[in-house]
Chains A and B, each alone.
Chain A
Amino acid sequence: MAEQPPFRRPVNTVFQRYALFPHMTIWENVAFGLRMKKQPKDQIDHRVEEALTLVRLERMGKRKPGQLSGGQQQRVALARALVNNPEVLLLDEPLGALDLKLRQAMQDELKRIQKSVGITFIYVTHDQEEALSMSDRIAVMNEGDVLQVDRPYELYEDPKTRFVADFIGETNFLVGKVETNDEQLTHVRLTTGQLAHVPHEEQVLAPGTDVTVAIRPEKIFIGAGQAPDLYNVFHGRVGTVTYLGTDTYYDVLLPNDVEVTARQQNEDYTGTAATAAVGDEVYLAWHAHNANLLTE
């Protein structure tokens, strides 16, 4: 497909602001591509009906785009592209112009339509949550380069670069140097002076290599008192506490002013909003397999 010029590829696009033709009816909008391809009239009629039914707008054919709501216009744009039976459908931030409620409803609708037509959707979005919830596979791009292509959970749990780890979700980055390796773990001397233990990536890194240990806030256990028996246990002092309803964020200061954020779900309300208060000595602990070793 890459050898063909863009206008020959069997790809259709859903534009960011729909770009529906305002002077044509919904029916004419959807029929546009088929008419340009000079399909026989009865086939056009049939396929336009089908496409409008698919997006549940079969009764709106005679209206003009200006008479439809944002969500309905979005669905017309979808029908107008899908009616041409492309091999790939490109959606350029299709829900960007919708408000939150409608966005969520349209996400479900898009998934339903994608399943029923079975066409590959390439979905461009800046909304990481949307990307995670909508996709079978995600490609993270930065300045035109594809950095990583993976299933949503692989991308989140095992980012290969600092950019990807930072772009999708929140992450703590702890800088250090490889000290030693054993069969499963790389031992990293952090700038805090402490030793972190992280599973190898594909390649075992030589001692002395500059690395970054990435650990997500929600994978960190935090508490006062006795730390759990894990490979990675660090002690520090609570800097700030941010209560967010379902979760509380603790910014903990490790030696040399390295700050690590831990996120704890508020599953048990014990009379205070937080497990630890500002200034408390706490432990931070995580399973070795939850951290990632990054070299770039």
Chain B
Amino acid sequence: MATDSTSMRRRDRLQLGFLVGPTALYLLLFFVIPLGIIFVYSFLKRGVYGQLVWEFNLQNYVRVVDPLYLQIFWRSAVLETASTVGCLLLAYPFAYYIARRESARTRNLLLVLVMIPFWTNFLIRTYAWRVILGTDGPINSFLMWTGLVNEPLTLLFTEGAVLVGLIYGYLPFMVLPLYAAIERIDFSLMEAAADLYANGWQAFRKVLLPLSMPGVIAGCILVFIPSLGAFVTPDLLGGAKTVMIGNLIQGQFLTARDWPFGSAISMLLMVAVLGATLIYFRQGGRTL
């Protein structure tokens, strides 16, 4: 018996190694180690020519408190929250509509339609928005043609343009988890709510929304976190005026060549996201 159980244990360990090993190794090499490097960099100093000076200090973290940067953080937080809420408001009715289709073919077709944009490069799609929102773009042309405006509106290089771009880019990440959550719900519950005098809004508030909450939360996390690091969209649609955290970090590494400061912002951003996620899971986030 003793040998049996030890051999079992060895097999378990072997299996564990095979199943988890590749992923663990990959993450160690390309995630944990780089992260460690960034962590160490964040305590170093920038040399005159942008090189790293190995001199331990906390100056990078102190610099972050500068109003200039705080303003960027604030703008980022507002834009990302707005884009998450925007995605949620747009995606929920759509996901509901898909989930309520009776034929599996229709549902799959609609889901494929959601994913089709991924077939085109994100950069190209974002450039397309520059054309759409531009001074000579279709929106302005149309407005001029109808006579609603006399001269083209400034749509591009505004916070609004960045918001539109972010919502556009991350909408599918909201639709898919919402669809998965809503599709699982037994719709006789809605009939029961109606039988018990709930109107449409009450049935949604008391039954559908709470039951689809896992999808709402998964979708919000999938949209909010990647949009934190977004730099392509604000760069192409927001121009120099609408700098977000992603652009700030990118600029520190590529333009200003201040790797220690860029590292420090990255670390702070990561701690903030991690903290927010942990708080969520502590506060009854058991549904996920």
Is A19 touching B188 in the complex (CB atoms < 8 A)?
Answer: yes
Complex Cα distance, B191 from A15, in Å, reads 9
Comparing B46-54, B163-171, B192-200, the segment that makes contact with chain A is: B192-200
Q: Is B211 an interface residue (CB 8 A)?
A: yes
User: What mask results when residues 190 to 215 of chain B are scored 1 for a CB within 8 Å of chain A, else 0?
Assistant: 01111111100010001100110000
Q: Is A292 an interface residue (CB 8 A)?
A: no
Is A36 touching B211 in the complex (CB atoms < 8 A)?
Answer: no
User: What mask results when residues 214 to 227 of chain B are scored 1 for a CB within 8 Å of chain A, else 0?
Assistant: 00000000000000
Given that A19-B188, A21-B189 are contacting pairs, would A12 and B211 also be in contact in the complex, using a CB cutoff of 8 Å? no
Q: Is A80 an interface residue (CB 8 A)?
A: yes
Is A22 touching B211 in the complex (CB atoms < 8 A)?
Answer: yes
Given that A15-B188, A32-B206, A36-B202 are contacting pairs, would A23 and B211 also be in contact in the complex, using a CB cutoff of 8 Å? yes
Is A19 touching B196 in the complex (CB atoms < 8 A)?
Answer: no
Q: Is B4 an interface residue (CB 8 A)?
A: no
Is B196 touching A33 in the complex (CB atoms < 8 A)?
Answer: yes
Q: Is A101 an interface residue (CB 8 A)?
A: no
* B88 smallest CB distance to A (angstroms): 19
B197 CB contact (under 8 Å) in A16, A17, A33? A33
Q: Is A37 an interface residue (CB 8 A)?
A: yes
Complex Cα distance, B206 from A20, in Å, reads 13
A36 CB contact (under 8 Å) in B188, B189, B197? B197
Is A13 touching B195 in the complex (CB atoms < 8 A)?
Answer: yes
Complex Cα distance, B209 from A23, in Å, reads 11
Complex Cα distance, B191 from A7, in Å, reads 11
Complex Cα distance, B196 from A37, in Å, reads 9
Q: Which residue of chain A has its CB nearest to the CB of B202?
A: A36
Given that A17-B188, A19-B186, A19-B188 are contacting pairs, would A32 and B193 also be in contact in the complex, using a CB cutoff of 8 Å? yes
Is B189 touching A19 in the complex (CB atoms < 8 A)?
Answer: yes
Report B-chain residues with C-beta under 8 Å of the C-beta of A81.
195-196
Report A-chain residues with C-beta under 8 Å of the C-beta of B189.
19, 21-22
Report A-chain residues with C-beta under 8 Å of the C-beta of B195.
7, 12-13, 15, 81
Within 8 A of A (CB), among B235-263: none
Report A-chain residues with C-beta under 8 Å of the C-beta of B207.
21
Within 8 A of B (CB), among A21-49: 21-23, 32-33, 36-37
Is A21 touching B197 in the complex (CB atoms < 8 A)?
Answer: no
Q: How many B residues, CB 8 Å from partner?
A: 16
* B198 smallest CB distance to A (angstroms): 5
Within 8 A of B (CB), among A47-105: 80-81, 84
Given that A17-B188, A19-B188, A23-B210 are contacting pairs, would A12 and B194 also be in contact in the complex, using a CB cutoff of 8 Å? no
Report A-chain residues with C-beta under 8 Å of the C-beta of B211.
22-23
Complex Cα distance, B194 from A81, in Å, reads 12
Q: Which residue of chain A has its CB nearest to the CB of B192?
A: A19
Report A-chain residues with C-beta under 8 Å of the C-beta of B202.
36
Report B-chain residues with C-beta under 8 Å of the C-beta of A15.
188, 191-192, 195
Report B-chain residues with C-beta under 8 Å of the C-beta of A84.
196-197
Complex Cα distance, B211 from A22, in Å, reads 8
Q: Which residue of chain A has its CB nearest to the CB of B190?
A: A19
Report B-chain residues with C-beta under 8 Å of the C-beta of A19.
186, 188-189, 191-192
Complex Cα distance, B193 from A12, in Å, reads 11
Complex Cα distance, B216 from A242, in Å, reads 62
Is A36 touching B198 in the complex (CB atoms < 8 A)?
Answer: yes
Complex Cα distance, B198 from A12, in Å, reads 12
Is B188 touching A32 in the complex (CB atoms < 8 A)?
Answer: no
User: What mask results when residues 63 to 106 of chain B are scored 1 for a CB within 8 Å of chain A, else 0?
Assistant: 00000000000000000000000000000000000000000000
Q: Which residue of chain A has its CB nearest to the CB of B199?
A: A36
* A89 smallest CB distance to B (angstroms): 11
Given that A19-B186, A19-B191 are contacting pairs, would A32 and B196 also be in contact in the complex, using a CB cutoff of 8 Å? yes
Q: Which residue of chain A has its CB nearest to the CB of B287?
A: A23
* B231 smallest CB distance to A (angstroms): 39
Q: Which residue of chain B has its CB nearest to the CB of A12?
A: B195
Complex Cα distance, B199 from A36, in Å, reads 9
Complex Cα distance, B210 from A131, in Å, reads 38
Report B-chain residues with C-beta under 8 Å of the C-beta of A20.
192
Report A-chain residues with C-beta under 8 Å of the C-beta of B196.
12, 32-33, 36, 80-81, 84
Complex Cα distance, B193 from A21, in Å, reads 9
Report B-chain residues with C-beta under 8 Å of the C-beta of A33.
196-197
Complex Cα distance, B196 from A21, in Å, reads 12
Report B-chain residues with C-beta under 8 Å of the C-beta of A37.
197
Q: Which residue of chain B has its CB nearest to the CB of A90?
A: B195
Is B188 touching A21 in the complex (CB atoms < 8 A)?
Answer: no
* B195 smallest CB distance to A (angstroms): 5
Complex Cα distance, B211 from A37, in Å, reads 22
Interface pairs A-B: 3 shortest CB-CB: A33-B196, A19-B192, A36-B197
List 20 extra interface pairs beyond A7-B195, A36-B196, CB under 8 A.
A7-B194, A13-B192, A13-B195, A15-B188, A15-B191, A16-B188, A17-B188, A19-B188, A19-B189, A21-B192, A21-B206, A22-B189, A23-B210, A23-B211, A32-B196, A32-B198, A32-B206, A33-B196, A36-B198, A81-B195
Provide a sorted-by-A list of 25 A–B residue pairs whose CB atoms are within 8 angstroms.
A7-B195, A7-B197, A12-B195, A12-B196, A13-B195, A15-B191, A16-B188, A19-B192, A21-B192, A21-B193, A21-B206, A22-B189, A22-B211, A23-B211, A32-B193, A32-B196, A32-B198, A32-B206, A33-B197, A36-B198, A36-B202, A80-B196, A81-B195, A81-B196, A84-B196
